[in-house]
Amino acid sequence: METLIINVLLVMMAVTVAVLARVRNLFSVIVLASVYSFLMATVLVALDAVDVAMTEAAVGAGISTVLLLGALSLCKGEEAKPLHRPWLPLALAVTCAGLLTYGAMGLPPFSDPQAPIHTHVAPTYLKEAVVKTSVPNVVTAVLASYRSFDTLGETIVVFTAGAGVVALLRRRRRPQRQEERS
Amino acid sequence: MKHDLVLRVVAKLFLPFILLFALYVQFHGDFGPGGGFQAGVMAAAAVMFYALIYGLPEARRVVPERIVEAMMALGVLLYLAVGIAGLVLGGNFLDYFVLAQDSVQGQHRGILWVEAGVAITVSGVMLKIFYMFTDRGQADE
Amino acid sequence: MNVLSHFGYVVVIFLMIAGLFIVIARGNLIKKLIGLGIFQTSVYLLYVKPGKLLGGTAPIVSEAFSVYSNPLPHVLILTAIVVGVATLALGLALVVRIRESYGSIEEDDILEQDHAAGDTSLSHS
């Protein structure tokens, strides 16, 4: 039953992306991207990844959509025009898909307890995280304590993105348009 | 949108609950799903909601630009301060065991402050980016 | 059955290739950024899906459960999601500046304007 729900949601995501590639109105594209993010968050809940689902719903479906709509309002909603027929990119994409699928057949099947992912560090984390940190949520314990350097780097990346956007979009006292036209 | 009565009243009713939920997710991240990132994004979303209904100058009056810019940097500095506190108290960088008498209590403290730093930075950055995008559009008219 | 046990990988590869196709075959800059986001999201799925164990629960330790899904991919993907939105924000800021400089966000128009502006400094050299 769980597998059925997950597979149905995955098919819905694939359909959404296939429609998104064809639609030309940019507002519809952004709304479809938001729908895709929400479906992704639902699949993540079905896969028992509750922390990731909350972050994807808040960041992917929330903040990304707000930023895209803000940028669209600044770019005045032009639509994508059809280019020359994309035969070469399509052929390239299909070739890559074929090669990747051939490689993916060698990966472990879905929900296999003997898969290598479950044998190295993860059982140690599950057993010891509560004992050493008394924090029941193992994801928070690993994120903030065992892998604290990664989280420090990520916080600095977020800060850098904010500083970059400020540097790009800051207004000077004089209007920008006249400077760029000259 | 500030002329629409229903939107104004509903916004004023919702905002404290959104902020309360953000704080709940932040501090309850130890026992359930949650943590710094989600809480920071939700707090920023509450202020964005206010800015959408009441207008950007009103939102800027409530949460000024200087505070938002300060929040961006303060979160990272708080994280680094926890790391350096580990160094000063005799352990390694970002070592939580030395932060309290009992090593488990030290881990608790370290995780609490680190998640707070992350939430402050994330909410500051998301809000600042929103302000920048909206401000660029306003001044073009 | 072989197909059903690897169905997740097939869908992940489809999403990845669709995102890649949008990036290389569409000319609108905002659509390219959305395609990049779809590519990133498919990679999240690729990481989280093998960690799931049927009959288990979320990795929050309590006495009532004994089988948990793997917490390590969750941690890595949390970081990846936030870095993804940071990339999107910077990309969109660049798109806004390009729009103000060139007047268009279509790749073809921008390249035409670059070539027409003379081969002195702007075109690839």
Q: Tell me the pLDDT tens digit for each residue of A39-55.
A: 999 999 999 999 999 99
Does the structure show a pLDDT above 80 at B66?
A: yes
Q: Which chains touch C (3 or more CB pairs under 8 A)?
A: A, B
Tokens of B83: 């790391």
- CB-count burial class (<10 Å; 0-12, 13-18, 19+) for B134: buried
In DSSP terms, C106 is beta-bridged to C28
Q: What is the pLDDT of residue A178?
A: 47
By the CB < 8 Å criterion, does A162 face chain B? Answer: yes
Portion 128-157 of A in contact with B at CB < 8 A: 132-137, 139-141, 143-145, 148-149, 151-152, 155-156
Instruction: Note the maximum CA span of chain C.
Output: 72
Q: How confident is the model at residue A77 (pLDDT cuts 50, 70, 90)?
A: low
Are A137 and B29 in contact, with CB atoms under 8 Å apart?
Answer: yes
* CA–CA gap between residue A62 and residue B130 (Å, rounded): 12
Mean pLDDT of A3-21: 93
Contact list in C for residue B133 (CB cut-off 8 A) is 92-93, 96
Q: What's the average model confidence in pLDDT over A171-182? A: 52
What ipTM goes with this model? 0.91
Percent of chain B with pLDDT over 70: 96
Which residue would you say has higher pLDDT here, B80 or B102? Answer: B80
* pLDDT at position B141: 42
Q: Which of A39, A44, A75, A118 would best serve as a mutation to test chain C binding (most C beta carbons within 10 A)?
A: A75
Task: Output the pTM of the full model.
Answer: 0.90
Whether the per-residue pLDDT at A149 is higher than 50: the answer is: yes
Contact at CB, C27 and A80, closer than 8 angstroms: yes
CA distance A99 to chain C (A): 10
Distance (Å) of CA B52 to CA A66, A127, B57, B131, C66: 11, 46, 11, 11, 46
Which residues of chain C have a pLDDT value below 50? 123, 125
What Å distances lie between residue B85 and A148, A153, B79, B118, C79, CA to CA?
Answer: 14, 18, 10, 17, 24
Does the structure show a pLDDT above 80 at A175? no
Q: Which residues pair with C60 in a beta bridge?
A: A137
CB contact under 8 A, B31 and C93: no
Residue type at position C18:
A
Residues 94-123 in C contacting A (C-alpha not used; CB under 8 Å): 94-97, 99-101, 104-106, 108
pLDDT tens-place string over residues B6-15: 888 998 899 9
pLDDT at A179: 46
Mean pLDDT of the B44-51 span: 93
User: Does residue B32 belong to the interface with chain C, where contact is any CB pair within 8 Å?
Assistant: yes
> Which stretch of A91-100, A142-151, A169-178, B20-29 has the lowest confidence by average pLDDT?
A169-178
Question: What is the number of other CB atoms lying within 10 angstroms of the CB of residue A30?
Answer: 21
* C29-53 as b/e: b if 16+ CB within 10 A: bbbbbbbbbbbbbbbbbbbbbbbbb
Question: Token pair for residue C105?
Answer: 């966000």
**Residue B125 scores a pLDDT above 50:** yes
Tens of pLDDT, residues A86-99: 788 899 999 999 99
pLDDT average, residue stretch B71-75: 94
DSSP-assigned letter for residue B3: T
Nearest in space to C62 (alpha carbons), one of B109, B32, B27, A121: B32
For residues A133 and B34, what is the distance between their CA atoms, to the nearest angstrom? 17
Mean pLDDT taken over chain B: 90
| Domain C2-116 = CATH 1.10.3720.10 | no
- Report whether C8 contacts A110 (CB < 8 A): yes
Quick one: what percent of chain A has pLDDT higher than 70? Answer: 91
Q: What is the DSSP letter of A107?
A: S
- Dihedrals φ, ψ of C28, to 5°? -75, 130
CB-nearest partner of C96 from B35, B37, B136: B136
Q: Which of A124-138, A164-178, C75-89, C106-120 has the lowest mean pLDDT?
A: A164-178
Residue with tokens 């800059």: C29
Per-residue pLDDT tens over the stretch C75-96? 999 999 999 999 999 999 999 9
CA gap B115, B112 in Å, rounded:
5
Give the Cα separation of A121 and A129 in Å (integer). Answer: 12
Look at residue A152 in the predicted model and tell me its pLDDT: 94
Q: Give residues with Cβ within 8 angstroms of A71, minimum separation 6.
A: B133, C30, C92, C95, C96
**In whole angstroms, what is the distance from residue C18 CA to residue B100 CA?**
51
Quick one: pLDDT band at residue B1, thresholds 50, 70, 90? low
| Residue A30 backbone dihedrals phi, psi, to 5 degrees | -70, -40
Our CA-based measurement puts residue B118 at a distance from the nearest CA of chain A, in whole angstroms, of 6
Query: Got the DSSP string for B60-100?
Result: HHHS-HHHHHHHHHHHHHHHHHHHHHHHHTTS-TT--GGGS
Contact C2 A72 (CB under 8 A): no
